[in-house]
Amino acid sequence: MSSREFHIDTARMIIENNRHSLSNVAVDIFEGCVNESVEKTGKFIVAISGGSTPRDMYRMLAEEPYHSRVPWERIHFFWVDERCVSVDDPVSNYGTALKDLLDHVPIPRYQVHPMRGDLPPDEGREEYEGELRSFFNIAHDEVPVFDLVILGIGTDGHTASLFPGHDSLHATERLVCAVKGGNPDLNRLTLTIPVLNNARHVLFIVAGGEKASVVSKVFSGDGDGGDVPAGMVKPREGELIWLLDHDAASLVLRTLKKSAEMPHEAEWHEKEGR
Ligand code: 6PG
């Protein structure tokens, strides 16, 4: 199996043959970011998303060698979004992360910072905004800097719980918004674009042919106007990685090959051995 990687605009695009190697690479990237941040600052602060795609990665992290190797006592977990449900609801992002990962690794509970999906949406929003400001010790006009933000994309172009056409896409004063939408159609809490774009590393993990068309839209620039919210995620200074499986990348590859933007074949790095 091989992994292909190239740079397009400011993004690093990595394409894997299947979901298993996709999750392996996601774990490698996670571990690399942990090591980089722990070395620099002594801690690692990550915001994770829900959805089905990153679940294999979270389960892998709960197992060896990562269970023993990752410095869990240095890590703080936050969420990019949450559904307004109780933690034992099957669609709770926090509840799912507990089952897949956090219940199985030696991370101090006070380093896990879930969004309060059990509160009424506006209260949950205020609570998380306060939690972020106090944890990062930032003033009213400052935005937190996450070491890593992990995102997915929906077939409609949403990312986190930032949906096409919603006012929350243009929130500049808030770190967290309360919104309604998605599938399931629920009240939700979400980090805002300025927070996502202030991260040191942003990692999109995307799998499946049903995502091919929306991924291709992101890279054709159609996302900038808010039709494809994921396209608005362009870290100001941080690294942007799109980690795709072959099916999700199929259309973007075809489109790019036809256009002048397609990097010369020589710029592709084939990495053997995954
Ligand atoms: C959520 C997510 C959401 C998700 C995408 C992709 O809580 O639902 O944060 O933005 O990442 O909908 O979901 P899949 O990985 O299930 O395709």
**pLDDT, position 98:** 98
Instruction: Say how many Å lie between the CA of residue 51 and the centre of ligand 1.
Output: 3
**Ligand 1 first shell, C-beta below 6 A:** 49-53, 80-81, 93, 152-154, 158-160
**pLDDT, position 243:** 98
Q: How confident is the model at residue 267 (pLDDT cuts 50, 70, 90)?
A: very low
Please give the share of the chain, as a percent, with pLDDT higher than 90. Answer: 84
For residues 42-49, give the mean pLDDT: 98
**pLDDT, position 259:** 59
| Position in ligand 1 atom list of the atom nearest CA 54 | 15
Report whether pLDDT(269) > 50. no
**pLDDT, position 264:** 44
Q: Is the peptide bond before 106 cis (omega within 30 degrees of 0)?
A: no
| Position in ligand 1 atom list of the atom nearest CA 161 | 10
Instruction: Say how many Å lie between the CA of residue 215 and the centre of ligand 1.
Output: 14
Tally of CA atoms within 13 A in the half-sphere of 9 that contains its CB: 13
Q: How confident is the model at residue 167 (pLDDT cuts 50, 70, 90)?
A: very high
Structure confidence by residue, pLDDT tens digits, 202-255: 999 999 999 999 999 998 876 566 799 999 999 999 999 999 999 999 998 887
Nearest CA to ligand 1 atom 8: 51
Instruction: Say how many Å lie between the CA of residue 205 and the centre of ligand 1.
Output: 10
**pLDDT, position 101:** 98
**pLDDT, position 220:** 85
Mutation pick for ligand 1 pocket among 82, 159, 205 (CB with most ligand atoms within 8 Å): 159
Tokens 């605009």 found at:
9
Mutation pick for ligand 1 pocket among 49, 57, 215 (CB with most ligand atoms within 8 Å): 49
Structure confidence by residue, pLDDT tens digits, 86-142: 999 999 999 999 999 999 999 999 999 999 999 999 999 999 999 999 999 999 999
How many residues can be counted in the chain?
274
**pLDDT, position 258:** 65
Q: How confident is the model at residue 2 (pLDDT cuts 50, 70, 90)?
A: low
Instruction: Say how many Å lie between the CA of residue 49 and the centre of ligand 1.
Output: 7
10 Å Cβ neighbour count for 128? 24
Instruction: Say how many Å lie between the CA of residue 144 and the centre of ligand 1.
Output: 22
Q: What is the DSSP string of the chain?
A: -EEEEEEETTEEEEEESSHHHHHHHHHHHHHHHHHHHHHHHS-EEEEE--SSTTHHHHHHHTSTTHHHHS-GGGEEEEESEEESS-TTSTT-HHHHHHHHTGGGS---GGGB----TTS-HHHHHHHHHHHHHHHHT--TT-----SEEEE---TTS-BTTB-TT-GGGG--S-SEEEEEETTTTEEEEEE-HHHHTT-SEEEEEE-SGGGHHHHHHHHTTGGGGSSSGGGG---SSSEEEEEEEHHHHHHHHHHHHHSTTSPPGGG-EEEE--
For residues 144-158, give the mean pLDDT: 98
Instruction: Domain 2-272: give its CATH code.
Output: 3.40.50.1360
